[in-house]
Chain A
Amino acid sequence: MVLTVTKPTVGGSEDSWGTTINTALDDIVLEINSNADGTNAITPNLTEGSWEISTTPVTASAAELNILDGATVTTDEVNILDGDTSATSTTVVDADRVVFNDDGTMKQVAMSDLKTYINASVGSGSVTEVAMTVPTGLTVSGSPITTSGTLAVTFTSGYSIPTTSSQSNWNTAYGWGDHSTQGYLTSAPAPTSSQVGSAMAGLSTGAVGTFAFAMISASTASTSVSVPNGTTTSSLFYTDRSASNSASYKTSGTWKCMGYATNEDRGTVWMRIA
C-alpha cells in the first residue's frame, strides 16, 4: 500500500496560494513508500519487556524467539510435551519413534533400536546348568539339567502328603491340648493271678482256653494216638472214664492234648486252643 499525505496550507485563500507547511512529511512519506517493496525496510529496535502484545509485555529475547524459527510443530504436539495425559491406542511397529534423550541430546529413536537394546541387555543371557534341591522327604531326579530334560520330584520312602481327612483328624487331636496330661497308658501291666483266675472262671465249658476231660473219636483212635501238644483230627467227646455217657457230648473247635490217649484208653485231658 502507498501512503499519501495531504500537507496543510497556511495563509491561502480562495484566490491566492498560501504557504504549505511540514514539507518534511514528504520525506517521511517517501521513506515509507520506498519500503513498499522491502528494499529499504524500517528495522524496529525492540527492547525485551518494552514491547507488548495486547498489553502483555513480551520478555523473550530474540534468540529465544528464534528457536521457533523453522518450527512446524502443532499446538497439539506441543501440548503432548507439556504433560498431556490422554493416550491413543497404537500398534507399535519397528518404524515408530519415541523422543529420546541421548546423553543430553534429544533425538527421535526408532522402536527397532529400543528392541535391539532390550534384547541385548535382558533377554539374551545364557544358562549352562539348572539344578533343583528339595527338602527332606522329597527326592528329585534329573537334576541338574545341562541341555534338556525334566526335573521330577517324588516322595522319599516313608514320606507322604497327608490327606485333608488325616489333617482334619490331627487338628481335632491337636485341639485336645497336651496329650501328655491326659493319662494315656504307655504300658499295660501284667494281669494279676486273681484277674486271670476270674477270667478263667468266667469261661463257659468248651470255650477257648478251657480244659476238659474228653475222649478222642473212633476215627482218630483207629489211626493214631494222642500225645501231649497233639491236636485232634476230629471231634472229642466229653466223657467219664468209662465213656458211659459220651456219645451226645461232642466238642467244637480245636483241642490240644494235655495228656495221653490211645485206642484202648481214649480219655485224657485236653485244652481248647481254637
Chain B
Amino acid sequence: MVAITEIRNARSMNAENTHFDLEINHPDYGWIPYALTPWDTDNTINNTELLALIGSDYVAFSQSDEDARQADFSRYQRNQRLENEVDPIVTNPLRWADLTTEKQNEWTQYRTDLLNVPQQAGFPNTINWPTKPE
C-alpha cells in the first residue's frame, strides 16, 4: 500500500463523480497523473482515501467536454479503419484492379460511409459502424 497525502488538479470525468483525472504526489515518482476509477481492482493506492482527499476540490464534470473527447475518439477509430482496412485496398493499383466492379463499388461505398460517420444522428456516442466488404 502506497500512502498518498497530496493531490491536485482533480477533474471529474463522469456525471456520478466517481471517475477522476488528477495528479498525486507519489512517494517514489513525485507528482504524476492518476486516473481514479470505480472499476480499479488494484489496491496499491487506496482510492477511497484519494476520494476523501479530493473532497469537493475538483473541476466539475462537463458533458460537452466528454462529447468532444468521444467525438475525437470516434474520428480516430474511423481514421484507423480507413488506414488499416480501406487504404491497403484502394491505394494498391494491383489489388484494386483484381476486384470486380461490384466489389470496387462495395469498397467505395464503405469508404464513403466511414467518411460520413460524423454525420450520423447518434454521433459521437451512438455510431452505426458500416460493415467492411468481404
Chain A contacts to B: CB under 8 angstroms: 204, 206-208, 217-219, 221-222, 231-237, 241-244, 246-247, 250-254, 264, 266, 272-274
Contact = CB atoms under 8 A, between A and B. Distances in A.
A254 B7 CA distance: 14
B73 A217 contact: yes
Contacts of B99: none
Interface stretch (B30-38, B52-60, B101-109, B115-123): B30-38
Contacts of B68: 218
B41 A274 contact: no
Interface in B79-111: 79-81, 84-85
Given A207-B42, A252-B39, A252-B40, A274 B80 contact: no
A49 B72 CA distance: 150
Contacts of B21: 233-235
B44 A274 contact: yes
A274 B24 contact: yes
Interface in B1-58: 2, 13, 21, 24, 26, 29, 32-37, 39-42, 44-45
In the A-B complex, the 7 residue pairs with the smallest Cβ-Cβ separation, listed nearest first, are A252-B40, A218-B72, A252-B37, A208-B44, A235-B35, A242-B80, A218-B69
B63 interface: no
B77 A274 contact: no
B73 A233 contact: no
A206 B84 CA distance: 27
Interface of A is mostly: loop
Contact of A272 (B42, B74, B81): B42
Contact of A233 (B33, B70, B84, B85): B33
Interface residues of B, number: 31
A221 B75 CA distance: 13
Contact of A250 (B29, B35, B42): B35
A232 B36 CA distance: 13
A272 B40 CA distance: 12
A222 B45 contact: no
Nearest to A247: B73
B84 A242 contact: yes
A222 B77 contact: no
Contacts of A253: 34-35, 40, 42, 44-45
A218 B29 contact: no
A207 to B, nearest CB: 5
Contact of B37 (A204, A221, A235, A242): A235
A234 B84 contact: no
Contacts of A241: 80, 84
Nearest to A272: B42
B42 A208 contact: yes
B32 A231 contact: yes
B40 A274 contact: no
Given A252-B42, A253-B45, A218 B73 contact: yes
A211 B90 CA distance: 35
7 contacts: A217-B69, A219-B69, A219-B72, A221-B72, A231-B29, A250-B35, A254-B35
Contacts of A264: 79
Contacts of B44: 207-208, 253, 274
Nearest to B85: A242
A250 to B, nearest CB: 7
Contacts of A246: 73, 77
Contacts of B29: 231, 254, 273-274
A273 B79 CA distance: 30
Nearest to A203: B42
B35 A218 contact: no
Nearest to A218: B72
A251 to B, nearest CB: 6
A243 B77 contact: yes
Nearest to B79: A264
